[in-house]
Amino acid sequence: MIVFRVSLSQLCAVGDLDHAVLSGGESCGAYASFLLEQRARRLVALQLDVLADRDPEPLHQLRVCCRQIRSTVEQFQAALELPEQVSAQRLARIGSDLGLARDLDVMRDQLQQRWLPLLPEREQAPLRKVLKQLKRERKLAFAITTDTLKGRRYLKLLARLQAWLREPSITPMGAEPIADWMPELQQVVLAGLFTLPGWWVERPHEEEGAQALHQLRRRIKRARYGLVNLSALAPELDEPWLHQLKQMQTTLGELQDLRVLMHALERLLEERPDAALPSLCSLILEARDQAWSSWLAASAELRTAPGRHRLLSLALNR
């Protein structure tokens, strides 16, 4: 494979992605390099706040940033000659390690802020015991987060990415205008989305259905990140779809969070959740039904052939 080595200033002369991509005449390599540069800077900026652990939000944003970088690497891999250490697989492993503490943050926040104030006094005491145990587990999980961010694998990946950004290597495709490759770059992130079994789930609360919906949520998230990567070229076309995909991802995320919460209660309580916390279980079941109804409404268009075809033909309308 022929590889071109150029400086980032040669790839694109402006530092703001929103302005860098207005013309659509930039190369695939320039476009992808700016995406990676912005997100690498964000990753570095968040690290100290994550390690300080004063607020759970920086950890959430760091995970989002890792997913965005992974999405860009996957989508533009044919245009970029990246170091071996900067791979989607390595980024996925780092994201998984960071996810342990984040998942516990979400669960604790849901229990403490959303559910605890709604419970009768007799149910608050056992729930507070659960919260104490989750706090202990979160402390252990954050030790993994710290080890990850200070560890050789993460630091080596970040160093290799930063070194590559100083002198990006691009393929022949990377040297061509991104406008010429929009259909293909969109296809990368939408391929296989609509054939996943989650679209046909009828029993969302059974294990098989829940797993299929979880897989679909992850795939919708990947599609949304990929379309975000391209949205600066034609925001008026992308924004409605990005909003719809975000809604779908959120409703499926609510279903998954409630499922994980019920499993945690089953694990941590000394008796069945519906016996120890009947009011809480009732509220969770009600929220679960509401989330399922929201999913059916949000996904209705894309569960039809015309809806699917409109999204798949988006690149042709740019």
Q: Which residue has the higher pLDDT, 297 or 16?
A: 297
pLDDT in tens, 169-218: 999 999 999 999 999 999 999 999 999 999 999 999 999 999 999 999 99
Cα distances (angstroms) measured from residue 146 to each of 48, 67, 99: 11, 18, 12
User: What is the residue extent of each domain of the chain?
Assistant: 1-176, 178-318
The 10 Å CB-count burial string (b at 16+, else e) for 118-138 is ebeeebbebbeebbeebeebb
Residues 99-131 pLDDT 10s = 999 999 999 999 999 999 999 999 999 999 999
Pairing of strands 169-170, 4-5: antiparallel
- The predicted pLDDT at position 22 comes to 37
Q: By C-alpha distance, which of 95, 107, 96, 110 is closest to 137?
A: 107
Gap between the Cα atoms of 176 and 29, Å rounded: 8
Average pLDDT of the chain, as a whole number = 91
Instruction: Output the pLDDT for position 8.
Output: 43
Q: Is the predicted pLDDT of residue 317 greater than 90, yes or no?
A: no
CA distance 230 to 238: 8
The answer, as to whether pTM is greater than 0.85, is yes
**What is the CATH architecture assignment of 1-176?**
Alpha solenoid (1.40)
